[in-house]
Amino acid sequence: MQDWYILACDGENQSTCQIAVVEVKPGQTTIAPIPIPEAHFPARAPWRAPSWLFGVSLVFFGIDILKPHHVPDRQSEEKLGLSHSRLLLKGAKRVLLHELRIVLNTVSNEEIAAAAATRAESPMEQRRSPNKRKGWQQREKLYDVIRKVLGINPQLQGIDFCAELDRRHAPPHWDWTRSGEWREGLTWKEAWQIPELQRKIRRVRQEAQNKG
């Protein structure tokens, strides 16, 4: 991951570097010498990120708001210090692992649901009550609240929609609490300010309408 950021920000890293600048002329052949690398690479100096990269830290790196005297000058031409650079890379890794965990949980749930839907039941199993996914009661309760809210005002959406869910004490989607996206004490209006949850709130609003 560090090598990728170095390449994206600096244009080259220890594995990928520019060896020549070639002017292309139509109909002509251009020759550029390819240097033979040394047998041993020199030790790489610790990478220092560009200052502008800290400007997108909240979205891409999961870094909470820092105290004013800890925030670097994002308009500076100077590179960030080693501590800020390490903070960005550590946050990027945390966000990547969090996103992977969410995707894996979603895929796992979908595969389990698909397997349950296609599995042939024995006569004894057919007499039993239907096997529902864990957390289905909380999901259905959320859908019921959404349908009631939209039944009064079908056009309600965004922060106003979330405020109405808060007023009616709507529970969060069970999958969100299980994955850790919805922390304890979070309100629907606060969740709307989080890009990933904002997208999922729109989707669950649509799902509740379709199932209604």
pLDDT at 42 over 70: no
Give per-residue pLDDT as tens, 126-142: 555 445 667 788 889 99
Amino acid sitting at position 170: A
Q: What is the mean pLDDT of the chain?
A: 78
What Cα–Cα distance (Å) separates residue 135 from each residue in 49, 59, 140, 176? 43, 30, 9, 11
- How far apart, in whole angstroms, are the C-alpha atoms of residue 109 and residue 176? 13
Could you tell me the two tokens for 163?
């405020």
pLDDT of residue 130: 47
**Confidence band of 198 (pLDDT split at 50, 70, 90):** very high
Q: Report the pLDDT averaged over residues 159-176.
A: 92
pLDDT of 68 > 90? The answer is no
Give the residue-averaged pLDDT of 116-129: 56
- Every domain of the chain and the residues it spans: 2-93, 95-127, 137-211
Reported as a single tens digit per residue, the pLDDT across 85-112 is 787 778 778 777 888 888 898 888 888 8
Is the pLDDT higher at 59 or at 108? 108
Q: Work out the burial of residue 163: count CB atoms within 10 Å of its CB; fewer than 13 is exposed, 13-18 middle, 19 or more buried.
A: middle
Q: pTM of the full predicted structure? A: 0.39
Give the separation between CA 38 and CA 146, rounded to whole angstroms: 65
Run of H or E residues at 169: none
Q: In the predicted model, what is the mean pLDDT of residues 154-165?
A: 91
Say if residues 32 and 20 touch (Cβ distance below 8 Å): yes
Query: Quick one: tokens of 200?
Result: 């999922």
Residue count of the chain? 212
User: Can you tell me which residue has the tokens 């105290």?
Assistant: 67
pLDDT of 21 above 50: yes
Handedness of CA 13, 74, 194, 61 (dihedral sign): positive
